[in-house]
Chain A
Amino acid sequence: MRTGVKAGLIFNQNVSLREDPIARLALVIGVHEAGRAEALRYTPLMSPDLRVMLFPSSAYRTLAPLAAGTTLHAALGRPLLVAIILGCAMAISATGRITIGLALSTILCWSFVPALQMLTGAWMLTRGTGDPKTAAQMDLWFMGHAPWSLWILVSAAMFTWSGETTRLEWFVVASALIPAVWTGIITRAFCRIVQQAPMRSAVRRAIAHQIVTVALVVAYLFAVARPWARILEMVRL
């Protein structure tokens, strides 16, 4: 560890730079000590979600003890926010508008997504041995949703303002790789710090989680889009 360059709130918490890709990137691109310290001065303005997104390991290290008293009621707040984000984004993408009725309809329809994420989260929690209780762990788990949430909102904005005939669908689908990889990094940090898993085990769980997530997405697409014929088209059987 290069203690000489670790300063400020995040870097003073004895976090290995190997665990925080963003911090490592900051070193690689040569961000100066003074600049980082200046940036960290604004950390209190960041939500826990943003801190988890930018500095997964160190943020979880800070937040895990604070989350110990989280109630189930409070832990449902973040899944609810994800449902609202998804519902509003779907409504805006499809219509370019938002109304109360439209938002409630799409939130209702698409709330199965955070429900499934809670299930995959619950599956992850059964694998862990960390101190915080289940509600706290679930809350910490959903703090890692920020990359997907921001990607969903940016996609909705692009669909809305890119012009009616601009073809963006494949670009948006391809760009989903960014939050997918980012979430894998956050999941690894969650397993490592919150669930106190050894590094190798944390990596395994993160990979398993991503595989389960992709499997669920594929299962959904098969259920609604019935792509067997298209697969046949591709392989020309």
Chain B
Amino acid sequence: MTIARRLAATLLVCGVVGGSLVERDTPALEPYREGEYWILAGDFHVHSFFGDGLLPPWEARREARRRGLDAIAVTNHNHQASLVVDRWTSFLAGSLTGASGADSASDLLVLPGQEITAGRYHLIGVGMATTVDWTQSAAEAIAAVHAQGGAAIAAHPTRGYWNAYDSRALSVLDGSEVAHPLVDGDAKSRGELIEFYTRLRTARPSAAPIGSSDFHIRAPMGLCRTYVFARERSQAGVVEAIRSGRTVAYDSTGQAFGDAALVAMADRRRQHDAVRRTSPSPSASASVVAVLLGLVGLIVL
């Protein structure tokens, strides 16, 4: 190995080790409660490896924690393979560390889900045990999600998807993504999400506003997020809050969607969160630079 390649390899190792040391300083997260509600930050549209996301499910958990989230839903397209892996890795991690899963105060709630990807609609099912057939109508798919005790959310409902949500579907739909990275910088699509949400609220006044990152490759998890006002800190509590419409959605600019009283409470939670570091520090960025340069060095030198 030449001296140049040794230097590149050293840079790579230093970057990875340095990045690990920096991450150890990330503050632990505590659940936030106000009055009768746990105010939980959630991202209910996350894709993971074994689907078309980059991160394996166990790393998606860690990333959610880094981003200050209390709950995520893993929603791959029309399958739930990653959830099986997640259950096993959680079980193994729990066995090795002695942690008792969801009972742990700082543990993340991972809701099983599916992005029901049909020809005319995309629907997020949250809190379901088995997959839902995508060939049926939106109303039938929503009923199938409800039959499993889950909540059904319209995924990025831009104009092209509107025809699938007839009056029957709108009357039972639990929520709609009103904040989504897809519409960042796109006023037309942004207006369509808001218009659909307004229509949904007319048909079903308790429909929940939802903010999601649709995390696949890079839009940071939790960039758009939903605060749910849950009576209990559990999967059932989160699903009940969504189905009752007790949510506030925030888009990437910080604009809130939801009832004014709930928005005020969510704002207090966000102020509480502001002390937490959710984006990479300069040290973490420096470690990334070192790793990239080290790898380029190993290719070209």
A residues sitting closer than 8 Å to B (CB atoms) are 45-47, 49-50, 81, 84-85, 88-103, 105-106, 108-109, 146, 149-150, 153, 156-157, 159-160, 164-165, 167-169, 221, 224-227, 229-230, 232-233, 237
Q: Which residues of B (201-252) have their CB < 8 Å from a CB of A? A: 215, 217-220, 223, 252
Would you call A85 and B52 a contact (CB within 8 A)?
Answer: no
Bound CA–CA A109/B216 (angstroms): 15
Would you call B301 and A93 a contact (CB within 8 A)?
Answer: no
* Shortest beta-carbon distance from B19 to chain A in Å: 4
| Residue B139 at the chain A interface, CB threshold 8 Å | no
Contacts of B77 in A (CB 8 A): 224-227
Would you call B288 and A96 a contact (CB within 8 A)?
Answer: yes
Bound CA–CA A232/B55 (angstroms): 28
Would you call B117 and A47 a contact (CB within 8 A)?
Answer: no
Q: Given contacts A165-B252, A224-B52, A229-B119, is CB(A50)–CB(B299) below 8 Å?
A: yes
Would you call A105 and B59 a contact (CB within 8 A)?
Answer: yes
Contacts of B58 in A (CB 8 A): 105
Would you call A224 and B76 a contact (CB within 8 A)?
Answer: yes
Bound CA–CA A54/B77 (angstroms): 40
* Shortest beta-carbon distance from B14 to chain A in Å: 11
Would you call A149 and B16 a contact (CB within 8 A)?
Answer: no
Can you name 20 A-B pairs with beta carbons within 8 Å?
A47-B298, A81-B299, A85-B299, A88-B16, A88-B292, A88-B295, A90-B55, A94-B215, A95-B55, A95-B63, A98-B287, A99-B20, A100-B20, A101-B62, A105-B56, A106-B59, A153-B296, A224-B50, A229-B78, A229-B117
Contact-residue size bin, chain B (C-beta under 8 Å from the other chain): 35 or more
Contacts of B181 in A (CB 8 A): 165
* Shortest beta-carbon distance from B59 to chain A in Å: 5
Contacts of A226 in B (CB 8 A): 77-79, 117, 134
**Residue of B at shortest CB range from A152?**
B295
* Shortest beta-carbon distance from A103 to chain B in Å: 6
Contacts of A108 in B (CB 8 A): 56
Would you call A97 and B79 a contact (CB within 8 A)?
Answer: no
B residues sitting closer than 8 Å to A (CB atoms) are 4-5, 12, 15-17, 19-20, 23, 49-56, 58-59, 62-63, 66, 76-79, 117-120, 134, 181, 184-185, 215, 217-220, 223, 252, 279-280, 284-285, 287-288, 291-292, 295-296, 298-301
Bound CA–CA A153/B19 (angstroms): 17
Bound CA–CA A217/B15 (angstroms): 30
**Contact partner of A47 among B23, B291, B300, CB < 8 A?**
B300
Would you call A165 and B20 a contact (CB within 8 A)?
Answer: no
Would you call A97 and B76 a contact (CB within 8 A)?
Answer: no
Contacts of B217 in A (CB 8 A): 93-94, 159, 169
Would you call A98 and B288 a contact (CB within 8 A)?
Answer: yes
**Residue of B at shortest CB range from A99?**
B20
Bound CA–CA A103/B295 (angstroms): 13
Would you call B23 and A97 a contact (CB within 8 A)?
Answer: yes
Q: Given contacts A105-B59, A106-B54, A109-B49, is CB(A92)–CB(B288) below 8 Å?
A: yes
**Contact partner of A164 among B52, B54, B223, CB < 8 A?**
B223
* Shortest beta-carbon distance from B254 to chain A in Å: 12
Would you call A98 and B16 a contact (CB within 8 A)?
Answer: yes
Would you call A102 and B59 a contact (CB within 8 A)?
Answer: yes
Q: Given contacts A47-B300, A81-B298, A225-B52, is CB(A164)–CB(B220) below 8 Å?
A: yes
